[in-house]
Amino acid sequence: MSATADLLVEPDRLAAELDHADPPTLLDVRWRLTGPPGREDYAAGHLPGAVFVDLDTELCGRPGAAGRHPLPDPAALQAALRAAGVRAGHPVVVYDGGDGMSAARAWWTLRWAGHRQVRVLHGGYPAWTAAGLPVDTDVPAPAPGDVTVAPGALPVLDAARAARLAAAEPGVLLDVRAEPRYFGEHEPVDPVAGHVPGAVNLPAPEYVTQGRFPDADALRERFAAAGVDAGAPVGAYCGSGVTAAQAVLALHLAGRADAALYVGSWSEWVADPDRPVATGGTSGR
């Protein structure tokens, strides 16, 4: 199976899989940074059989000094996934409202937790409805799953490791936020604008468009232009580790399954006033 087929699934392929006797477990993880909660979208219509899982409260820990979307408590994550019907060794498909960010963070979280068989619906809910496929408002009651969360299956950066990677040669720490945030010109969410010293800016729209990725060759070319060397360490961060999870997914599609996520991201970095903040800097364009 190709890397793309192992990570993404198109609507028509998923529809065919859902007709099987033992279909994939579907998780609806629609989310917006400023609300309202995605549960309202789920109630209005979702893929048949999908279970809603909340990014803020079930897939992440409580916001604080570790960032706005820190790692979840493994036991709490396991309970949430089991309640959603996630089974050990059974495939999972996650989808969101179309930008691909919360689905990528859900994908990353399940992979980090040791569940390898998880894919993202390419294009999310809008791609499903645009294909004329059915939606439902019934709320399923899945049989409890038996997944066991085993943290650490994907590499994670903390602040110290992120700083070292940003300063490393030829390693690269990608900052995937919009340019004004990176350059220190504007910060709409966190209390300080700027970036981790040495990080390279590669805004998300440079490698993903409305939740859809180009082919692997195009991704490799784009990341290479930003300084990502095939043999050197690479990591990504954003505001709180959601958009950066999408960057890690893109890096996986490009063949970099070793890409690390700085989960706490900028919201953790600036929680400590002793950490240095850079402005200006290097664009990956």
Question: Could you tell me the domains of the chain?
Answer: 3-130 (3.40.250.10), 156-283 (3.40.250.10)
Candidate list 80, 101, 238, 247, residue with the active-site label: 238
Nearest to 172 by CA among 108, 251, 103, 101: 251
Q: Strand 282-283 vs strand 51-52: parallel, antiparallel, or unpaired?
A: unpaired
pLDDT of residue 2: 63
Give φ, ψ of 46 to 5 degrees: -150, 170
Residue found under tokens 């692997």: 216
In contact, 107 and 120? CB cutoff 8 Å? yes
Spans in the chain with pLDDT lower than 50 = 1
The answer for residues whose C-beta is within 8 angstroms of residue 169's C-beta and 6 or more apart is: none
E strands in the chain: 8-9, 25-28, 51-52, 92-95, 118-121, 156-157, 172-175, 200-201, 234-237, 260-262, 282-283
pLDDT of residue 284: 67
Vertex 126 angle, CA 125 and 130, to 5°: 120
- State the pTM of this model: 0.97
Cis upstream peptide for 36 (omega within 30°): yes
Alpha-carbon span 103 to 106, nearest angstrom: 5
pLDDT of residue 74: 98
pLDDT of residue 180: 96
pLDDT of residue 1: 46
- Active site (annotated) includes residue 60: no
